[in-house]
Amino acid sequence: MKQKVVSYKKLPAVVDQYLREHCDLVIFDKITKENYDTFCRELTDAIGLIGAELKIDDELLEHAPNLKVSATISVGYDNLDIPALSRRGILATNTPGVLNETTADTMFGLIIATARRFTELDSYVKSGQWKKPVGVRQFGLDVHHKTLGIIGMGGIGTAIAKRAHLGFDMNILYHNRNRNEEAEQLYKATYCSLDELLQQSDFVCLMTPLTPETEKLIGAKEFKLMKETAFFINGSRGRTVDEAALIEALRNKEIAGAGLDVFEEEPTPVDNPLLKMSNVLTLPHIGSATLQTRTDMCMFAAENVVAALKGERPPALINADIWL
């Protein structure tokens, strides 16, 4: 008899087929108030759990006494209560690496689009304002040869540094928990303090994971340290930034603009002041959102689950301290 796995996300056909070859798969397209009780009942005899965004904590785990593995389809795992999973001996996994290049494309797109004012000028043309040659009022700023500060030089940060150095001859500063020798050697990145990075960078790109230490890492003090001509890019998690402080910094022209793929609340409310600012480019958390990459992420998560079901160590195990 196959072991049971519950997915709280609709999976690509190829991933669905792969999992069904190894387990008894039950799928929920998404979890709602209407199906939550049914979902919890299905968890009672589930060995594996796979999906994205749903909070996996003590309350939910009370319904899953037989669970062995919980796999999130993302590199960030702030939706997983790691201590709660570890206390129960449940393996927690994520999908690092597979989305690095795609997410780096998105972040560098935000850098270029904010600096060159793409969304503003797209609106300028489509609204019929382009009635004479473009002048200084429509000018943007150069990206090439500027200074890029990357906060969080992990796999995605390194991929951003590669684009900046090899493609745009940018000077790269970075702040990270540990030195990144690859980025220093290949892309001439310079390690520095957070304050130094903020003061010297023309573009500040936040790519740190969300942890208790990084929650609201960037706030009023940090925005005041930035250049008035600098742009702030956030591709990490919305809660790594004090959003109210960001709004004030933009209103007070302490920084030139922002490119955001993440928000404090998602989906962000329609009355969020950031949505009314012409110098802020807003995306709906789509950093890794290409069909190929999302399929690869789902397959990676599925491989984590299958490895755990076989009694093998999953390839991307987060709470490795419980592995014996």
Catalytic residues: 237, 266, 285
Helix axes 13-20, 291-309, angle to 10 degrees: 10
Residue tagged 């599925």 (tokens): 302
Q: Which two tokens stand for residue 229?
A: 């001509």
Q: Sheet with 203-206: list strands edge to edge.
A: 190-191, 171-175, 147-151, 203-206, 231-234, 257-260, 280-282
Residue 166: CA count within 13 A, CB half-sphere? 10
Distance, in Å, from the CA atom of 44 to the CA atom of 140, rounded to the nearest integer, reads: 57
Residues sharing a CB contact under 8 Å with residue 190, sequence separation 6 or more, in sequence order: 171, 172, 173, 174, 184
